[in-house]
Structure 1
Amino acid sequence: MVGIKRNGLWWLLSPLIISHAQAFYIPGWSIKSYKEGEHIPLMVNKVYSDNTQLQYAYYDLPFVCPPAGRSHASGLLSGQSISLNLGEVLRGDRIKISDIDLTVGHDNKCNFLCDQQVTRSDLRRARELVKDGYVAEWIVDNLPGATSFVTVDKSRKYYAAGFKLGFTKYDSSTGKPRYFLNNHHTIVIRYRTAPGHAGEGGGKVVVGFEVYTKSVGPNNKRENGCPVELQEIDDNFELYMPPNKTEDLVLEEQRPENHHDYLDEGDDEDTITIPYSYSVYFREDNSIEWDKRWDLYFVNQEEGSRIHWLAIINSLIICGLLSGIVAIILSKTIRTDIKGYKEASMEAGRKSKPAPRPRTPKLEKHSLGLLEQENEVDNLPNDASDDEALEDVTGWKLLHGDVFRRPQYGHLLAPLVGSGTQVLFMAIGLIFLSAVGVLNPSFRGGFLSFGFGLFVFAGLFSGYFSAKVYKGFGGVNFGKNALITACFFPGLLFALVFILNLFVWAQASSTAIPFGTLLAIALLWLCIQVPLVYLGSWYGHARTSAWDNPTKTSNVARQIPQQAWYIKSLQSILFAGLVPFTVIFIELLFVFQSVWQDKSGYYYVFGFLSVVSLILIVTVAEVTIVTIYVQLCSENYHWWWQSFAVGGGSALWVFFYSIWYYFFKLHITGFVSSMLFFVYSFMACCVYGLLLGTVGFLAAYAFIRKLYAAIKVD
């Protein structure tokens, strides 16, 4: 979603928005305008890096200016926390009001912020963050502060969200790294006249928020705390504190390889002062529309669109080939088999009708002879005659008495299918809301918040489908099945998040979910989702009938012949899973880049993603049908679990891809960051596999019901 477009949903929501316009601001829908001289709050959020998965709240850093509790004209106090939705908390946001003063139309060449006293340990912490390439996120009018760039041909301008805490230089004489801190920020607010009546009254809207950083050393001349010269700075602020002892006591050749780490050794009570200052400039820019202001954050948008179209064409070709294969199977092979089976069954029925025989007088037992043998042949069951007439019947047609036999561990398969429908409903809802523009980049945390809400509400569907499958397997204790459905998969995810959180808490990172939020999630799960699952399960088990299978199951199971190597479970899962993976491979690259590599970027092409997702679902259904049909032709009727595993088989390839991506594309350092990557990747693959496994199961079940209903002979 490149721009925030007005669509039909806007007209449905507009009366509600207009009636409450003075009460609150709806990100992405209502426009906030400012008048000349009005204060605009600048909020600080967090710092993050592409080289690690650990984020930190900006005001938790010991080397930045802490909030002074200053009162702004808007009535907000610096350091005051902003209420966050669930999605913002889960993504590690910690938003607070800053001391920086922004007044519409008033430029400020330089304003002193504070002198921050830091210790040696604080200085080491600052150097670690600068070394890892951390960037800070500030927010004005819901826009993240950005670093501005231009394309190589200087034809287009674009933004990279965030700005660097500092930079690294290498000493020309020693080749060792030296780390410098950015302690002066130049803020540029771009605005234009507000549309409609607000603009006629002198209102202005923010269309751009740029931050330019400078490193000003302590030796630069200052007046009122501000550097006199900001254009030509020859002395940067180095994150270095000389040792307590005289340097001359240490010979140059005796210093360790990391020279600066050695020089930082000393009493931790020693301090150094970091001066902070900022400049503010307001610039009118009529080239940017308010509803297009996010476009600058989407790098290489046109080139990316061409790649997305290539992904869709690639997916359509694969899906088209599969559709042709399925069509051939359905229209020719299966139709011919069904016709031959019906003709053979009718012939067998005619042959099995016994001709009327004259009444035979009772004979002595010892005088039966050949007559006894004749009667024994005549009294054979009709099945013998049927088998003789149907001697040419092979493959899947022989499994009509076994194909709907209850699977082993069906009490676990039913909850998995139920949870899969729950995830499927959530995914469809999120993609739809994102494609129509309800969930957009300006709605911070909206994607996670809506996703969690849809998942909890979809507990109704989870319980219903789980109960239907469970009842079809002959289950009677729907309450136990509902409890397993409500607790098994969500409980696994919650346990993984909780254990992972213990490691992240130890790092004092804002990536850690607060204990109160974890408790709230647990209450939503246990007090809302579990009852919804139980309600859906009760309705599916008690108020609806079980799915009616077209054939009856025989008492004795058939013996399964030796299977070819490519039909065996693991091989078929891997081979079949590779096809859906090729459908999403190109789009998956963009998703991984947005989530793991470009944390400052935003994934916006949900329109393309919705098309690829639809093609993916069709492809998974077709691949599962073909795979299960081949299995049935090999007289293997254990298809229940196999269809679920084949449908979700591409999740294995996605996980293999994530491992390759970690080693060859990312530069993640640290044990905890690596653990975050692999655990979250595993959880995402579980959700993905559960969703597509359910699609494969339902597609295979519908296909087999249709297939065996067609061979019934009245």
Structure 2
Amino acid sequence: MVCPPTGRTHVGSLISGHSISLNLGEVLRGDRIMTSDYELVMGNDTECQFLCNRIVDRYGLKRARELIDSGYVAEWIVDNLPGATSFVTIDKSRKYYAAGFKLGHKDYSATGKPRYFINNHVTIVIRWRMAPGRDGERGGKVIVGFEVYPKSIGADYWMYEECPEDLRNVEEGMELYLGPTNSTTEGKSVDSVLSYSPPRDEEDMNDGATLTIPYSYSVYYREETNVEWANRWDLYFVNEEGSSKIHWLAIFNSVFIAGFLTAAVGLIVARTIKGDMKAFSKDGGMEEGKLKLKLKRPRNGTRSPRTGEKESSGLLDQSVDADNDADISSDEELLEDLTGWKLLHGDVFRSPQYGGLLAPLIGSGMQLVFMTSGLLLLSCLGVLNPSWRGGFVSVGFGLFIFAGVFSGYFSGRVYKTFGGEDWRKNTLMTAILFPGLLFATVFILNLFVWAQASSTAIPFSTLIALNFLWLFIQLPLVYAGSWYGYVRTGSWSHPTKTNQIARQIPQQSWYIKGIQSVLISGTIPFAVIFIELLFVFKSLWQDKSGYYYVFGFLAVVFVITIITVVEVTIVTTYLQLCGENYQWWWQSFFIGGGSAIWIFLYCTWYYFVNLHIHGFISGILFFSYSFLACLVYGLLTGTVGFLAAYAFVRRIYG
């Protein structure tokens, strides 16, 4: 539907039709940038420049109507600044940009039938100002705005390859319509073309009819002194600034929930656990998995007299017996007090089932913790910003690869703590399990995108490069970290010794069983982040700008979410131990990541209520990538929950 590149050479030796080299992030996000035939020379206005005539058949018109119906936009870039459609706020006090511009628009005739018009003329407005510093003193200029105003101009306004005389007084647009005859619409008036409109399914798609669409453009340069070059992206985010009150509401909601949980955890630690530990250590304690009680005299109270002592009798003997009876009664009361979590000292550190699977998951979770923390920190510092196209994805991938060291270290230590012996096998599983799942899923989904001939498909060469980075860079880093964690550092020490025979676990309450406990506990972290999630979804799927830029708010909510996950996991683990259930390892991991289930359900709700995505492939891609995002989140928070529960258990039994 647009003009093919002619291969002409622009100023600066740029050749139209040549692809621009992209970084890894740009390729993964689906960017495909190519030099166009539009000629822009700083300071030279162009009233109207004819570009080309595009001849389109019925198949092309049908495809164009589908794109307009789906709301597709064209994206141009000048000086790394996206071409934008300009808007103003309701009170007309501020202007803001939306990246891209519409391909066309849809209208309805007097009979109620839809009419589709293509935007075949664009007016480009380049806003500039003098460059700061010495460059400006030498006459240098910088671009601070790139606005595109599309327009549809009917075929009757064109004379051969010349622009219309008056672009402002064009009344009829270029309609994407062909009549039922085999003739073209060139030279016909709009009224004659619309004289007959058969249903689309009755048209002969192979009758050879074509429609010629002329394309042109205008360019204007305007000086802009109110926008600094360093702040030229602010116009793309004026909507985010206007919604700051809701962001603050999200933070207030998060702080309130986290504060309530903090009070609950403080109450448990200060009163319940601390009181139990004092009472428990007053007359005994835990040493090597056994109760250590005070030595008491035999019940009969008799012993051989020492040198210089006389055998006593009578009231003195009765007094000694009474003291001994009191001691025995005290022992029995102490044993009766050993209930709930105090009875699990010999089983609480028993290695879990499938510990060889849990250890690699914990390692991958720490890898994600490091990557996410680094991305948020760099974004808050302004290092990662929209002017660096693809920078967020590129840096995130680099941090993920480098964090393989942390993945191997934590996986090796946890594996050694569980009593594992084949650390090389654990290293291989850590390096392959989660990254392999991501790579396989993306590869399979990419096949669907390839089948649709979409430009967002990841090139095969890029997949080979990703595979190389995974196997030849991350795998050695995971091996080095695992060797240091397993061989050099070793396992974490436990304060009590594990009994040879495991205790029988009594019947558990319904709210601390399996999936019920995970779902109930997951609602609290989800309540902390769901308001900010709404802005993330809107930025990714619905916002005109297409960017999420309020990373300061996101970082605060992330920290509060981590605190909430830690506190929820501690409370749930304590309740589980009070129920004399020592199988807390996997449970704490699932409790920490339980909110990922609610986030996926939230994605499902958002898909059906707010999005208008059509097509089976599009739905598959949405839910698959949403599942991967929730999996990443669940693995990260699950790891945080596991480590918090482990530190808590070691503390109360230490």
Assess if the C-alpha contact under 8 Å between 2:182 and 2:208 holds in 1: no
- For residues 296 and 419 of structure 2, the distance between their equivalents in structure 1, rounded to whole angstroms, comes to 34
Distance 1:158 1:388 in 2: 74
TM-score by length of 1: 0.83
| Corresponding residue number in structure 1 for 2:177 | 240
After superposition, the Cα gap between the structure-2 partners of 1:74 and 1:656, relative to the gap in structure 1 and judged at 3 Å, is same
**Higher deviation after alignment, 336-345 or 618-627:** 336-345
Q: Deviations along 1:618-663, whole A, 9 cap, x unmatched?
A: 1100110000001101111110000000000000010010010001
Aligned mate of 2:570, from 625, 647, 662: 625
Q: Please give the per-residue CA displacement for 1:141-160, whole angstroms capped at 9, x wherever unaligned.
A: 11100011111111111111
Of residues 70, 82, 87 in structure 1, which corresponds to 2:20? 82
CA change 1:386–1:523 in 2 (3 A) is farther
2: CA distance, partners of 1:339 / 1:287: 68
CA shift, 1:245, in A, is 5.8
Question: Partners in 2 of 1:122 and 1:484 — Cα distance?
Answer: 50
- The match for 2:412 is 467
Residues of 2 paired with 1:646 and 1:463: CA distance?
23
Amino acid at match of 1:288: V
SS at match of 2:15: coil
Kept in 1, the 8 Å contact 2:237–2:545? The answer is no
Alignment of 1:147 with 2:92, yes or no, is no
Q: Which runs of 5+ in 1 are unaligned?
A: 1-62, 248-256, 360-382, 710-714
* 1:367-411 deviation digits (Å, cap 9, x = unpaired): xxxxxxxxxxxxxxxx99966741222110000000000100000
Q: 2:40 aligns with which of 78, 102, 106?
A: 102
What is residue 413 of structure 1 aligned with on the other side? 358
Structure 2 CA distance, aligned partners of 1:117 and 1:131? 21
CA distance in 1: counterparts of 2:515 and 2:449, whole angstroms: 36
Counterpart AA for 1:287: N
- Match 1:186 to one of 115, 123, 137: 123
- Alpha-carbon displacement from aligned partner over 1:2-60 (angstroms, at most 9, x marks no partner): xxxxxxxxxxxxxxxxxxxxxxxxxxxxxxxxxxxxxxxxxxxxxxxxxxxxxxxxxxx
Deviation at 1:510, TM superposition (A): 1.5
Deviation at 1:689, TM superposition (A): 0.1
- Relative to 1, partners in 2 of residues 1:623 and 1:653: Cα closer, same or farther, differing over 3 Å? same
Alignment correspondent of 1:330: 269
How far apart in 1 are the matches of 2:512 and 2:198? Answer: 62
Note the C-alpha offset of 1:229.
2.1
- Return the alpha-carbon distance in structure 2 between the equivalents of residues 581 and 105 of structure 1: 53
Where does residue 216 of structure 1 map in the other structure? 153
Shift of 1:178: 1.1
- Alpha-carbon distance in structure 2 between the residues aligned to 1:152 and 1:284: 25
Cα distance between partner residues in 1 of 2:567 and 2:197:
59
1:71 alignment partner AA = T
Contact 1:422–1:461, Cα closer than 8 Å, also in 2 = yes
**Structure 1 stretch displaced more, 210-219 or 291-300:** 291-300
- Residue 529 of structure 1 aligns to a residue in which SS? helix
The CA deviation at 1:351 is 4.5
Once the two structures are TM-superposed, the CA of residue 349 in structure 1 deviates from its matched residue by: 2.4
Residue 68 (structure 2) pairs with residue 130 (structure 1): yes
Contact 1:139 1:145 in 2 (8 A): yes
Q: 1:464 to 1:651 in 2, by over 3 A?
A: same
Higher mean displacement: 384-393 or 338-347: 384-393
Alignment check: 8 A CA contact 1:116 1:275 kept = yes
1:255-285 CA deviation, whole Å, 9 max, x = no partner?
xx99452464242643321100000000001
Q: Answer whether contact 1:225 1:275 (CA < 8 A) is retained.
A: no
Q: 1:567: which partner in 2?
A: 512
In the alignment, the residues of structure 2 paired with residue 98 and residue 685 of structure 1 have an alpha-carbon distance, to the nearest angstrom, of 39
Question: What is the RMSD of the two structures over their aligned residues, measured on CA atoms?
Answer: 2.1
CA distance in 1, matches of 2:281, 2:344: 15
Per-residue deviation, residues 329-365 of structure 1 (Å, max 9, x unmatched): 1111111101111124279723556578679xxxxxx
| Residue number in structure 2 paired with 1:288 | 227
Q: 2:242 aligns with which of 303, 306, 316?
A: 303
Tell me which amino acid in the other structure corresponds to 2:20.
I
Within the alignment, does 1:478 sit opposite 2:423 as a pair?
A: yes
Please point out which of 125, 135, 143 is paired with 1:198: 135
Partner of residue 555, structure 1: 500
Cα separation, 2, equivalents of 1:622 and 1:564:
20
Cα deviation code 1:538-577 (max 9, x no counterpart): 1111111210000000111111111111111111111111
Question: C-alpha separation between the residues in 1 aligned to 2:652 and 2:564?
Answer: 20
The residue correspondences of 1:485-564 to structure 2 (distance < 5 A) are 485-564=430-509
Tell me, yes or no, if structure 1 residue 350 matches structure 2 residue 294. Answer: yes
Q: Which whole-Å CA distance do the structure 2 matches of 1:117 and 1:66 have between them?
A: 11
User: 1:152 and 1:222, CA in 2 relative to 1: closer, same or farther beyond 3 A?
Assistant: farther
Equivalence for 1:58: none
Other-structure match for 1:578: 523
Shift in Å, 1:228: 1.8
Counterparts of 1:350 and 1:549 in 2: how far apart (Å)?
A: 23
Contact 1:415/1:481 (<8 A) preserved:
yes
Q: 3-state DSSP class of the match of 1:272?
A: strand
Instruction: Tell me the residue number matched to 1:270.
Output: 209
| 1:226 and 2:163 aligned | yes
Tell me which residue corresponds to 1:117: 55
The residue number in structure 1 matching 2:4 is 66
Measure the CA separation in 2 of the matches of 1:96 and 1:638.
58
> Judging changes above 3 Å, is the alpha-carbon distance between structure 1 residues 348 and 288 closer, same or farther for their aligned structure 2 residues?
closer
The answer to whether the 8 Å contact 1:190/1:208 transfers is yes
SS at match of 1:583: helix
Distance 1:469 1:268, change over 3 A: farther
Instruction: Give the alignment's TM-score, normalised by structure 2.
Output: 0.91
Q: Verify the 8 A CA contact 1:550 1:705 in the aligned structure 2.
A: yes
1:424 is aligned to 2:372: no
C-alpha distance in 2 between matches for 1:178 and 1:119? 17
CA 1:348/1:263 → structure 2, altered by over 3 Å: closer, same or farther?
closer
C-alpha contact 1:244 1:267 (8 A) present in aligned 2: no
Name 2:388's counterpart in structure 1.
443
| Deviates further, 324-333 or 635-644 | 324-333
Q: Check conservation: 1:297, 1:601, Cα contact below 8 A.
A: no
| Alpha-carbon contact 1:401-1:553 (below 8 Å) kept | yes
Specify whether residues 289 and 223 from structure 1 end up closer, same or farther in structure 2 by C-alpha distance, changes over 3 A only. farther
Residues 539-688 of structure 1 correspond to what in structure 2 (within 5 A)? 539-598=484-543, 600-688=545-633
Deviation at 1:120, TM superposition (A): 1.8
CA contact (8 A) 1:421 1:462 kept: yes
Whether the 8 Å CA contact 1:183–1:214 is kept in 2: the answer is yes
Distance 2:117 2:297 in 1: 98
| Contact 1:119/1:268 (8 A) holds in 2 | no
Alpha-carbon distance in structure 2 between the residues aligned to 1:497 and 1:269: 41
Question: Distance between the aligned counterparts of 1:684 and 1:101, measured in 2?
Answer: 42
- Please identify, of 295-304 and 336-345, the stretch whose mean Cα deviation from structure 2 is larger: 295-304
- Which region of structure 1 is more displaced relative to structure 2, 475-484 or 508-517? 508-517
Identity of aligned residues (%): 64
**Structure 1: distance between partners of 2:9 and 2:463:** 33
2 CA distance for matches of 1:208 and 1:242? Answer: 42
Q: Which has the higher contact order (CA 8 A, sep 6+)?
A: 1
Alpha-carbon deviation of 1:71? Answer: 0.4
Q: Deviations over 1:100-121 (max 9, x none)?
A: 1111111100001011122221
